[in-house]
Amino acid sequence: MVDAGDTTRTYDIVATRAGRRVDTTIRRGVVEIAEVTRGGTVVRTARFMANRVLALIEYPAPRPVLPEERPADQKTAEKSAEKSGQKARSADAA
C-alpha cells in the first residue's frame, strides 16, 4: 500500500509461474520488489520511495497438504478407494 498524495494505492506483486519467487529489498530510501526465477534472473521489478510506503505485506507461498494433515473422513475415503482399486486389479489378473 503506497501513499499517492490524496489517496492510497495498492499494488499486488505475485510470482506468476511455478519456481519463481518475490524478493524485497530496502536500501537508500527505495523499496524494491522483484520477481525472480530459480536461476536468479529478475523478470520484473517495482520500485517505491520508502517514505511513501504505508504497508508491505508478504504472504507465504502455499504448500501442498500432507497426508497426516488431512481430515480423518478424507483419509478413510482415500483408503477405501485404494482398496477398491486393488480388488479391481486382482480381478483383472485372474
Question: Which pLDDT tens digits describe the chain residue by residue (94 residues)?
Answer: 777 778 888 878 788 788 888 888 889 898 888 889 888 899 888 888 888 887 777 777 677 777 777 776 655 656 666 666 655 454 455 5
pLDDT for 90 equals 47
pLDDT for 10 equals 82
- Counting other chains too, the contacts that 1-6 makes at CB distance below 8 Å and 24 or more residues apart are 1/53, 1/54, 1/55, 1/57, 2/48, 2/52, 2/53, 2/54, 3/52, 3/53, 3/54, 4/52
pLDDT for 81 equals 62
pLDDT for 74 equals 58
Domain boundaries, the chain: 1-63, 64-94
